[in-house]
Amino acid sequence: MSRWILVAEDEPALGEMLCDNLALESYHAEHVLTGPQALERMARGGIDLLILDVMLPGCDGFEVLRQLRGRGDHTPVLILSARSADRDRIRGLELQADDYLPKPFNLRELLLRVDNLLRRSAPPGPGTDLLDFGGNRVDFRTMRARTRTGEDVELTATETKLLKLLAAHRGTVVSRKIVVEHLFGSQAALTVRTLDNVVLRLRKLFEPDPTAPRHLLTVRGLGLRFDG
Ligand code: CA
């Protein structure tokens, strides 16, 4: 599964260069220019790693990080800073940044650090082919599941992808837009309806009471959330 990276960098050329290079490494990369934009984008969910410049308009990177951690968002954060003073590095680490790279940086080093952070946090991948919740077991590799009543069922590729995406962001809301893009690509038009149908079938399979779901939750106006 491709990972989503948000780059918060107010220097347009640098932000674009980073996104281009991340895309070459097969990541999905998005770019925002200000602190508030970064917070707003993170709130919509679905981001696996944030590359965060310190000097940003609106509110600086430290403030973005403080607010993220304050609202319980533990997405890995790599801080980029032109200010290489120890004080800044320590401040970032105090605010629970996961890594810190002073500018100017070596691009290869940045990409390696990104890869390391994602590997450390990686929920999907080998060894996590199984998802257990509420007495159900899903095997992502074979796209089969055994429900809490002992029934063996086959899942479609879309159902498997949706469960995998939501499980990778367990406990946090993933916006419908992100889900739709992830499942169907951005061109799809009839996809909100399709998504609803996918969610309905998964609830029928895995929820004791599909009308009062405990695992596959719709958060009105925001998106979907998986609680394991
Ligand atoms: Ca800056």
Q: How far apart are the CA of 81 and the centre of ligand 1, in A? A: 8
Residue listed under structure tokens 């650090």: 113
How far apart, in whole angstroms, are the C-alpha atoms of residue 222 and residue 46? 12
Structure tokens that stand for 164 in this block: 């995998």
Q: How far apart are the CA of 11 and the centre of ligand 1, in A? A: 6
Q: How far apart are the CA of 2 and the centre of ligand 1, in A? A: 27
Q: How far apart are the CA of 73 and the centre of ligand 1, in A? A: 23
How far apart, in whole angstroms, are the C-alpha atoms of residue 228 and residue 216? 9
pLDDT digits (tens, 9 = 90+) for 191-216: 777 888 999 999 999 999 999 999 99
Range with lowest mean pLDDT among 8-12, 135-139, 161-165, 188-192 = 188-192
Q: How far apart are the CA of 16 and the centre of ligand 1, in A? A: 13
Q: How far apart are the CA of 97 and the centre of ligand 1, in A? A: 17
pLDDT digits (tens, 9 = 90+) for 21-34: 999 998 999 999 99
Residues 6+ apart with CB under 8 A from 19: 7, 29, 30, 31
Assess contact for 16 and 31: CB atoms under 8 A. Answer: yes
**pLDDT confidence bin for 126, thresholds 50/70/90:** very low
Domain residue spans in the chain? 4-120, 130-226
Determine the CATH number of domain 130-226: 1.10.10.10
* Half-sphere CA count of 137, side-chain side, radius 13 A: 10
Q: How far apart are the CA of 67 and the centre of ligand 1, in A? A: 18
Range with lowest mean pLDDT among 13-17, 58-62, 142-146 = 142-146
Tell me the mean pLDDT in the region 41-49. Answer: 89
pLDDT digits (tens, 9 = 90+) for 59-97: 999 999 999 989 888 899 999 987 667 788 888 888 889
Q: How far apart are the CA of 107 and the centre of ligand 1, in A? A: 17
Check residue 125 and give its pLDDT. 44
Mean pLDDT of the chain, nearest integer? 88
Check residue 132 and give its pLDDT. 87
How far apart, in whole angstroms, are the C-alpha atoms of residue 89 and residue 103? 12
Q: How far apart are the CA of 151 and the centre of ligand 1, in A? A: 55
Instruction: Rounding to the nearest 10 degrees, give the CA dihedral for residues 202, 27, 48, 57.
Output: -130
Q: With respect to CATH, is domain 4-120 assigned 3.40.50.2300?
A: yes
Tell me which amino acid residue 165 is.
L
Range with lowest mean pLDDT among 8-17, 112-121, 172-181, 208-217 = 172-181
Q: What are phi and psi of 63, to 5 degrees?
A: -70, -40
Among candidates 43, 221, 201, 24, which has minimal Cα distance to 111?
Answer: 24
Polymer length of the chain: 228
